[in-house]
Chains A and B, each alone.
Chain A
Amino acid sequence: MTEKSDLRAAVAAGVGGSEESFRGLLAAIVEVARSIFGAKASSILLLDEETEELVFEAVVGEGEDTLLGTRFPAGKGIAGWVLATQTPLVIEDVQQDPRFAKDVAEDTGYVPSGLMAAPLMHEERALGVLSVLDRPEQSLFSLKEMELLGLFAHQASIAVDLLLKARKANRVLEQSGGDLEVVSRLATVVDALEDSRREAGLRLLHELAAMLGAKGGL
């Protein structure tokens, strides 16, 4: 028997935003973050809990062609520290030493000379990390930038939460083996109807529910 939450997920997958639209939102956030800080690049890393890896979900600027989808271990490095401790930090002049360049290059293929990183928090969980790479050298960091970074991270974490929910809903739909597909499609169609037809559509659904034995229709 299909679980109630599965049905809800099916409806959510039908009427909620698509993965593409949420990914677009993440891309827009990193684009604005890069622009505000005058940085060369900005990215959002998401935690894959199963593999304990961080995955590049949105990248703008240097590395955008190569980094998307790239993974590295979540327990180590600067992003790993930010994720594990759920604490933002800022590091500059990171390219001073060639050994560091090598470490980062191995992980990501892109070598920044400075980075700001903040955790993406949703309730008690750290979902990932927002990074802003290579701010202009002449702009000295201050607490105002840290606050701004926190605000962006907060916005990004809301978008990430929506993306993860959309993914979960789609996963449920796929796992249902097509049983729930019709519920999802129905929700999409009714949601897209114009007002006059929507009313008729909802009436039809009520009748269908009554026929199927739902008390009081839908």
Chain B
Amino acid sequence: MTDVTAHGEDAGQSALPAWSLPKDAVDRIALPWQWPERVTRDWALGGSSGKGARVCILDSGVEAGHPLVGDLESAVVISIGENDEVVAEEDTEGDVSGHGTACAGIVRTLAPECSISSVRVLGSTFTGSGAILLGGLKYAVEQGFDVINMSLSTTKKPFASILHELADSAYFKRTVLVASAHNMPVESYPWRFSSVISVGSHEEDDPLAFFANPNPPVEFFGRGVNVEVPWLGGRSLKVSGNSFATPHLSAICALILAKHPELTPFQLKSVLYLTATNVGGGK
């Protein structure tokens, strides 16, 4: 699909204005593809293996080569330099807790052919972890991943506005930010922002079952209870928590985007809604 927002990039055409739409430009923003009469789960992701979609796990690192994870496209560890610049270096340590590996394993199971990259924002230092989290997200957005899985959040209000800007910037750059909702009564970010896809847990066993929440800010519920996941040292564990529901939605996003790479985050969220188990798309 032609990127209708790529104003002026088509040779021989005058630039489309970013802020208004002159009459003579109307034809040029017609959708070059058709929405189906009914958006079904089969249309959305049927037959998709995730091939072509690039998923980033922003977490504690990923154990590369784990039999349930496979090879990684890239793995970096984030730190903050002397001049407050974001430094991304090749991560030779891998996963410092097991959590990132678990998230990558969930994505790999559901979207076996997608590309997985790791951006490690945990483990190098405890103080300053908020700045590293922001730096890692900034780096990931710059890399143009299709999906960024963020099974973590921060409660620090000073970071909220920067996170908000980063989340919006990802949204307009067609990077989908899938963020874990907090399941304790605390204010945290970025899952509360409308430009991200926020995820809580349901108790069903079906990994592809997901529910649209009619009462946001939590927008979707993914499988998050008693999930078997890979952990450090090549082993598997059974885990629960919103942070494991999130990679289920990330994988579903990867499946949809692999089949329909033209979708913007706004359109993708609409597809998720229309194909949610409780909306009818699960049939």
Measured CB to CB, the residues of A under 8 A from B are 47, 49, 52, 74-78, 80-81, 83-94, 96-97, 99-100, 103, 118-119, 121, 123-126, 140-143, 146-147, 150, 153-154
Contact = CB atoms under 8 A, between A and B. Distances in A.
B19 interface: no
A186 B266 CA distance: 65
A53 to B, nearest CB: 9
A100 B60 contact: no
Given A52-B125, A94-B237, A88 B184 contact: yes
A86 B153 contact: yes
A146 B243 CA distance: 13
B122 A75 contact: yes
Interface stretch (B1-9, B93-101, B210-218): B93-101
Interface of B: 60, 96-99, 122-127, 129, 151-157, 180, 182-186, 188, 201, 203, 225-226, 231-233, 235-244
Contact of B243 (A75, A85, A100, A103): A85
Nearest to B202: A143
A146 B183 contact: yes
A113 to B, nearest CB: 11
Contacts, number: 126
Contacts of A99: 232-233, 235
B76 to A, nearest CB: 17
A119 B126 CA distance: 15
Given A85-B243, A143-B225, A78 B98 contact: yes
- Secondary structure at the A interface, as helix, strand, loop or mixed, is mixed
A78 B123 CA distance: 11
Contact of A86 (B123, B154, B225, B226): B154
B125 A90 contact: no
Nearest to A126: B155
A130 B153 CA distance: 19
20 contacts: A74-B126, A77-B97, A78-B97, A80-B96, A80-B122, A81-B60, A81-B97, A84-B122, A84-B152, A85-B122, A87-B183, A87-B241, A89-B99, A90-B241, A91-B237, A92-B226, A94-B237, A100-B233, A125-B155, A141-B226
A88 B156 CA distance: 17
B127 A49 contact: yes
Contact of A85 (B96, B98, B127, B151): B151
Contacts of A75: 96, 122-126
Contacts of B243: 85, 87, 89
Q: What 6 A-B pairs are tightest by C-beta distance, nearest first?
A: A85-B152, A89-B241, A97-B235, A81-B97, A90-B240, A150-B184
- Secondary structure at the B interface, as helix, strand, loop or mixed, is loop
Contacts of A85: 99, 122, 151-153, 243
A92 B237 contact: yes
A83 B130 CA distance: 12
A143 B122 contact: no
A125 to B, nearest CB: 8
B97 to A, nearest CB: 4
Contacts of A124: 155-157
Given A78-B98, A85-B122, A121-B184, A96 B129 contact: no
A78 B240 CA distance: 13
B99 A81 contact: yes
B239 A90 contact: yes
B127 A52 contact: yes
Most chain-A Cβ atoms within 10 A of its Cβ — which of B129, B232, B241?
B241
Contacts of B129: 84
A91 B239 contact: yes
A200 to B, nearest CB: 46
A88 B240 CA distance: 9
B232 to A, nearest CB: 7
Contacts of B155: 86, 121, 123-126
Contacts of B239: 89-92
Nearest to B228: A93
A146 to B, nearest CB: 6
B124 A146 contact: no
A97 B240 contact: no
Contacts of B241: 87-90, 146
